Every structure is written in C-alpha cells, then in structure tokens.
Structure 1
Amino acid sequence: MVSLATNELSISYGEVDIVKDLNLSIPEGKITTMIGPNGCGKSTILKALARLHPSKSGVVYLDGKAIHKESTKAIAKKMAILPQTPEAPNGLTVTELVSYGRFPHQKGFGKLTDKDRQVVRWALQETGMLEFQERPIEALSGGQRQRIWIAMALAQETELLLLDEPTTYLDLAHQLEILQLLEKLNREQGRTIVMVIHDLNHAARFAHHMVALNKGTIMKEGQPEVVMTSVVLQRVFNIDAEIITDPRTNKPICLTYDLLGNEAGQKSRELVHALG
C-alpha cells in the first residue's frame, strides 16, 4: 500500500496563511473524510497532498519520499486526484476521457497499448459506464459524469485516490451512488480514499477515519464516533448539534442542529429528548 503523510506542513495564499504546521497521517487501505466549515483549508490541504498547491514550509511524504522531489509521472502512478469541478475538452467521448488516465504509464508519443485498452475497459466496467463508452461527455448526466471522472482516476491504477467534494451538485440518489461506488472500490480493491465532503452524515457513514478541521488546524481526528460528537461539532462549526446512532449502519448521524446559543436550538433539543 501507498502511505501519505505531512510533517509540519504550512500552506498560504499570498501573504495569508491557510494551514500552519499540519501533521496528518492518512490510514492506509481506509476511507478518510475531511470535514470543516467553508474556508477552513480542506480543499487546500487536499491540493497540497497531491502537489497541486505549493507548501510554504514542511513536507508531504508519499510512500516515505518527499513529494516535491518526485517526478510528476512517479506521483501519478501512485496517486490520483479528482478536483471539485473537473472539466473536459468539448467533443471527447467517454472512452477518450478515461484513456487520459493511462498517461503516467505511457512512453514515447503516448499511443494506447493493448494493456491500456484493457485497463480503460476495466475502469468503465467497475464504474458501471461501459455501455456509455462511445457517448460524448456532454450527453451524460451529472452522476454519470462523476462516474467517468472516477473511471479516469481508476485507469491510472493508483492505490491512493483523493476526491474534492465528489457529490457536489448531485441529487440524493446520485450522491449515494457515487459514495457507494467509492466504498466498493475500497472494500474490494483495498484502495486508500481521501474525500473532502460537506454532508456530515455522509462523511461519517462512509468513513473509517474522519478529520475535523477549522482554520487550517485539526480539531479532532479518529473513528467517526470519536469525531461526530456534539462537543467537536460545536468547536468546528459553532453549532449546537444532536447526535444519535444510525440503526442501519451503527454510525453517528447529526439529527438536528442550530446556531450555538439559539433559542430554537434549545427547543429542538427539548423536543428530541421528549421523543426519546
């Protein structure tokens, strides 16, 4: 398996410090979700982990090696990243886009080999998109497009997959579809997956490990039941939340929440307790 960790990592945009002295170790072969308020540094950290954003100081280690010293191809053979709003050139078919994932493995002029075609077909099959292989990207639904981008990442044949809000703009059914696909990839292939995700209940349900961030600092990390607590959510989001255990998954879920100190929040808590 491929390891990913940071040591005293600091990241900035211009003169503004976003993350300072971050020490983070991603559990291998697990799903890690990162939660936190807007602007807390989640996406920035993800980009820095993938060397898409430079660090101000500190080091990101990929398989024990400083990532800034590695070649782009070497990194792409170990780690794939799916940004929040990926864009494809107009006119590409599904197969053409997914075949871009084979770039790290190609030599010379980048002509697809039989092995490349086999991997592309496998990636389409794994994501349930084989029947759409000749369809133009612009003809796909939002959920189908997300599957294609994931297929392209799979075609890289990396053990580590980073995703920035993979369910953005999708309806509930398509959100669940994408998250269950990622869960399957982790369960059946042992891929290490790191996701930035806004929905707290999805973050807890699909994670083995959660990282709660605020102002570029880790407020709490660990198993979902350790992170998804009223106390942690108060510190991270400044909300007053009621947490219960999901009877189907045994994972914590946020039943209701309100702004800290809000009178309506007190009334909702009293109602929840009255209902048992």
Structure 2
Amino acid sequence: MTHPMHRAGHVAVIGRPNVGKSTLVNALVGAKVSIVSPRPQTTRHRLLGIATFPEGQLLLVDTPGIHREQKRAMNRLMNRAARGALEGVDAALLVVRAGQWDDEDTLAYDALKDAALPVILVVNQVDRVSDKSALLPYLAKVSEGRDFAGVHPISALKRSGLEALVKSVLAQLPEQPALYGEDEITDKSQRFLAGELVREQLMRQLGEELPYATTVEIERFVEEPSPKGVLLRIGAVIWVEREGQKLIVIGKGGERLREIGTKSRLQMERLFGSKVFLETWVRVREGWSDDEAALRAFGYND
C-alpha cells in the first residue's frame, strides 16, 4: 500500500575515492549491488541502487570517486561519469571520511554546488574515530561556509545512523509513487554484476600488485534448468595489459586464478540465488586502460 506522503527520486552519491560510497549504497539497498575493496577507485561505473522503504524510494546513483589525477583515459572517463551522475537527480549525498577533508573533498563539493542541488553531508566511518569529542568541532568546521541540507555522521559498515539519513534524504525528494518494484535492487543486469564480482576479487587479491591494470568481460552467460532450479553457466575473461601481469593473475600452478574464481562464484551464488558454473581465462590487450575505444568495448562509458 502506498504511504500517504510517499516520496521517490534520484540521489547522486558523490565523494572522493575510498570514502565508502559503495558500502553506503549496499547498506541502504540491503543487498550487494556495488563492489567494494580497500583500494581507491574500485567503482568504475555509474550504477543505480534501489532502496525501498514504506515511506519512499531512493534511487541511489553510485559513482566513481571524483579525483584530480587524470593521467589515463580510464581516470578521465571515471571523472566524467561521476560528474554526469548529477544530471537529472533530485538531491545528492556528499560522502566524506570522518575527521578528514582534503582538496578532493572540496573538488566534489564544488561540483555539487555548481549543479545547484540540495546536498546532504554524510560523514562516514565515525566508528573509527576514537576521540568522539573531536567530532563536533570537525562537523562545525566542514559545515562552515558550505550550504548543506543536512549533516549526518554514520557508519555504513555497521549500519548506524542510516535511519535518520534516509528520513533526511526523503524530505528532499518529490512526492510521487515508487518508480521501481519493491523487489528490484538495481538497474544493472546479472551479466554486468557477474563481471563486477570477478573484478572485486581481482582488486581484493591483487590490489597491491595490479591495482588498475585489470578488467573483466563476461563472454558467456547462459541460464539452464537444473533439478534444483536454475544453473548459470558463466564465462569470464580477465583482461590485463602485459604478459607479466597475466602470470601474476594466474599465479603459481594456476592457484591464484582458481581462488579468484572460487570466491567470485560463491558471491554470485549468494547474490543470484542460483547455482553457478564459472570458467575464467586471462588474456592480454596492451594499453587498454588508456584507450577510449577499448574502454567502450569493455562496457565503460561516461
């Protein structure tokens, strides 16, 4: 039944890399729609997370982190995707890390100010602040001279402070019925999500060695009936830029690639609720991350 004051709208989730934007989107949606890793710039695509509540629906646009360094085509494309997410949204969340504010936070705030949107400041990872008395002066300092529609200290990982945040965001959205069904959690296909889950394992396991030299292409995604429901047969190609990187991904005796495949498959089965048969291969395409045509062929767009 529709709530008498039901609100719904698009909300851009903006911030510099590695402040917990994807963790926040997943926490609000209540399911893993956006991959996370300790590495900055894990999120490379604009992605819609659909969070449905009795009183309204948040269509959360998760974005790559806004960053100054634009050495490669990949960085330029990610920045354009983040800024492009501000078009046609009703409000924005500026996510920062508790106790910190640097030039890239200012860069993200300025992009929002130029878009003339209501902006709610989300101060994430407050659970990591040992001296809680330092929070109030910090909040006062970052709010000074900046126009925020609300300020919310939260921990996305521990899901604390989210109820008040949701109420605050809904107040900025137009009164209208839900735009998606309550069982929908994202606008992305299972095929896309499968590729992201493999890439998440690459970022988690090879983040120190190959932080940004890998991408994933799903070559095969077939649903087959099985005695226990549906079996998904998925073929994933891991692309790297050099032959030496291929050896790192495969690992000694294929051990690393097997581990990446196993962990990816388990995550897929959890998300899709189906049995998954996953095959992975590693191939080389030199310089793909600095080649706009290659990036578009791999599904990156701005």
- Assess same fold via TM > 0.5: no
TM-score normalised over the length of structure 2: 0.29
Q: Which has the higher contact order (CA 8 A, sep 6+)?
A: 1
TM-score normalised over the length of structure 1: 0.31
